[in-house]
Amino acid sequence: AIQLTQSPSSLSASVGDRVTITCRASQGISSALAWYQQKPGKAPKLLIYDASSLESGVPSRFSGSGSGTDFTLTISSLQPEDFATYYCQQFNSYPHAFGGGTKVEIK
Amino acid sequence: QVQLVESGGGVVQPGGSLRLSCAASGFTFSSYGMHWVRQAPGKGLEWVAFIRYDGSNKYYADSVKGRFTISRDNSKNTLYLQMNSLRAEDTAVYYCAKSPGGHIDYWGQGTLVTVSS
């Protein structure tokens, strides 16, 4: 089974900061990766699919890149509503594993 | 608009069974694959199972294989998860989720399953 390793597991940042989260797959998954945002007590929300495609309605400050085994989610200018936990998920093969999550906190 | 509403959660003893349902609306249910994803209290997301749009293929996480069964009734726009031989480690919020092709684009609000004596 493919495993996803996210880093860091948590980070502290200020409003306006550029934030980068990485996701590494244990084997190549082409571009079959999605990123989700989850706030406490809420269901996750899709941000990015196919590694770099922005979901409709998601602000353009979110972007994704990468292919193969190394992927990145970037928030270009962190906003107050972006403080949340972020997860990557691979859908190249079953099981469709999630990464362990990255909690973005206010500095 | 897409709506996914889970039900059937609750408290069950170890070794017991529970059936979750997910009522779908706002899209052509019979055209989309569907997932179950769970989240233990304070933990990350764990993918559980997937069923193709027509029910022809099903996939499971190793942690639930042989104990859980995913199914769907396209005439009722409803997804199911039959959970047998439940363990304490199955305690989680269970989400149903719609898949347009690989990734998940919509999630339900979740239903809590607690396995405890």
| Model confidence pLDDT, tens digit, residues A70-98 | 999 999 999 999 999 999 999 999 999 99
Comparing C-alpha atoms, which of A5, A85, A45, A77 is closest to residue B103?
A: A45
Q: Which residues of B touch A (CB under 8 A)?
A: 35, 37, 44-47, 50, 59-62, 95, 102-110
Span A30-40, mean pLDDT? 98
From first CA to last CA, the distance across chain B in angstroms is 40
Segment 50-79 of chain A within 8 Å of chain B by CB: 50, 55
Nearest chain A CA: its distance from B103 CA (Å): 6
Which of B47, B103, B106 shows the shortest C-beta gap to A49? B103
CB contact under 8 A, B103 and A43: no
Torsion of CA A72, B107, B21, B10, to 10 degrees: 80
Please give the pLDDT value at position A8.
98
**Nearest CB to A43: which of B46, B60, B107?**
B107
List pLDDT tens digits, range A38-77: 999 999 999 999 999 999 999 999 999 999 999 999 999 9
Whether pLDDT at A107 is above 90: no
- B35 to chain A: nearest residue by CA? A96
* Mean pLDDT for all residues in chain A: 97
Cα–Cα distance list, A27 to A2, A30, A67, B73 (Å): 6, 9, 11, 35
Query: A53 to chain B, minimum CA–CA distance in Å?
Result: 11
Return mean pLDDT, chain B: 98
Question: Does the CB of A41 have a partner CB in chain B at under 8 Å?
Answer: no
Instruction: Kindly identify which residue of chain A lies nearest to residue B42, measuring between CA atoms.
Output: A40
User: Contact, A37 vs A21, CB < 8 A?
Assistant: no
Both tokens of A32, joined, read 């079959």
Q: What does the pLDDT look like over B68-115, one tens digit per residue?
A: 999 999 999 999 999 999 999 999 999 999 999 889 999 999 999 999
Interface test with B, best of A54, A91, A102 (most B CBs within 10 A): A91
Q: What is the per-residue pLDDT for A9? A: 98
**Strand (E) or helix (H) holding B38:** strand B33-39
CA-wise closest residue to B10 among B88, B18, A44? B18
How much of chain B, in percent, has pLDDT values that exceed 70? 100
pLDDT of amino acid B81: 98
pLDDT value at position B64?
Answer: 98
Average pLDDT over residues A17-40: 98
Determine the pLDDT at residue B101: 86
For an interface test with A, give the residue of B103, B111, B112 to mutate (most A CBs within 10 A).
B103
| A106 confidence band (pLDDT: 50, 70, 90) | confident
